[in-house]
């Protein structure tokens, strides 16, 4: 006789009653993640450099949330975040500080900020907060398709995202059983391309035509991947590509 099937919980169900830290909760994707997690019954700590945007996110949530500013380029600020958070279940950082442009025009401070957001900051988040992660918990960081599809004037973006993909593997080994993963979005219509004005529609159409999935991404696509990384307790040291196959095209 076959054993009865074990019900598989929905990722949102696995977040009910959990405490989740979202760094970058003032961004469009971070805000969507916070809203989804809040609706699933989490207690949220919203962190990032802009307290005003974090407060705006908090006001849109259905569940409990508090705001904690943090600067990923400042270890003391990260340590203060750890003290304010206490024990928690999951941390997600969507942080990014692009330093785009030709190599000949790069400025050291901009490059340092880019590495702080994607590499140094995550490393020190792990240093100060990994010991506070509850059993079955996780750290999830954001990489990006530029690491696998480098382009002119995107050298720093490609390098920082690539470095993060290796960092999560190393951290997953050292911090075990705390799980560490990355989500790597491709081109997502999250508002980041609104600056193209009238050219946005043509740009996104061209991306969709090239992608094997034949469309561009949405914030919801990315949030689904983050929920998977947080709640599947057999996934660690992994980069989840949410790019419609864009890195292959």
Confidence band, pLDDT 50/70/90 cuts, at residue 6: low
Global pTM value: 0.94
- Domain covering 13-241 assigned CATH 3.20.20.140 in the classification: no
Task: Kindly tell me if the per-residue pLDDT of 16 is higher than 80.
Answer: yes
189-245: pLDDT as tens digits: 988 889 899 999 999 999 999 999 999 999 999 999 999 999 999 999 999 999 999
Instruction: For residues 144-164, give the mean pLDDT.
Output: 97
Task: Kindly tell me if the per-residue pLDDT of 2 is higher than 80.
Answer: no
Instruction: For residues 117-122, give the mean pLDDT.
Output: 98
Q: Which two tokens stand for residue 5?
A: 């099937």
Phi and psi at residue 188, in whole multiples of 5°?
-120, 135
Domain extents in the chain: 13-241
155-194: pLDDT as tens digits: 999 999 999 999 999 999 999 999 999 999 999 998 888 9
Instruction: With CA atoms as reference, report the closest residue to 184 among 90, 112, 231, 248.
Output: 248
């Amino acid at each position: 006789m076959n054993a009865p099937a074990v019900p598989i919980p929905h990722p949102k169900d696995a977040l009910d009653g959990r405490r989740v830290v979202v760094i970058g909760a003032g961004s469009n994707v971070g805000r969507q993640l916070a809203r989804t997690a809040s609706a699933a019954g989490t207690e949220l700590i919203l962190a990032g450099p802009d307290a005003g945007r974090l407060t705006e996110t908090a006001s849109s949530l259905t569940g409990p949330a508090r705001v904690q500013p943090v600067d990923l380029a400042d270890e003391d600020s990260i340590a203060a975040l750890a003290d304010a958070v206490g024990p928690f279940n999951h941390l997600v950082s969507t942080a990014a500080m692009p330093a785009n442009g030709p190599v000949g025009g790069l400025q050291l401070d901009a490059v340092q900020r880019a590495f702080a957001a994607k590499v140094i900051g995550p490393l020190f988040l792990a240093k100060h907060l990994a010991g506070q992660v509850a059993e079955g918990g996780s750290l999830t960081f954001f990489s990006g398709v530029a690491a696998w599809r480098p382009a002119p004037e995107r050298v720093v973006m490609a390098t920082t995202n690539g470095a993060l993909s290796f960092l999560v593997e190393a951290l997953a080994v050292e911090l075990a059983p705390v799980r560490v993963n990355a989500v790597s979005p491709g081109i997502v219509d999250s508002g980041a391309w609104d600056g193209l004005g009238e050219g946005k529609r043509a740009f996104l159409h061209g991306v969709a035509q090239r992608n094997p999935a034949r469309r561009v991404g949405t914030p919801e696509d990315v949030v689904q991947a983050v929920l998977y990384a947080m709640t599947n307790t057999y996934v660690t040291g992994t980069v989840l590509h949410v790019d419609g196959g864009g890195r292959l095209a």
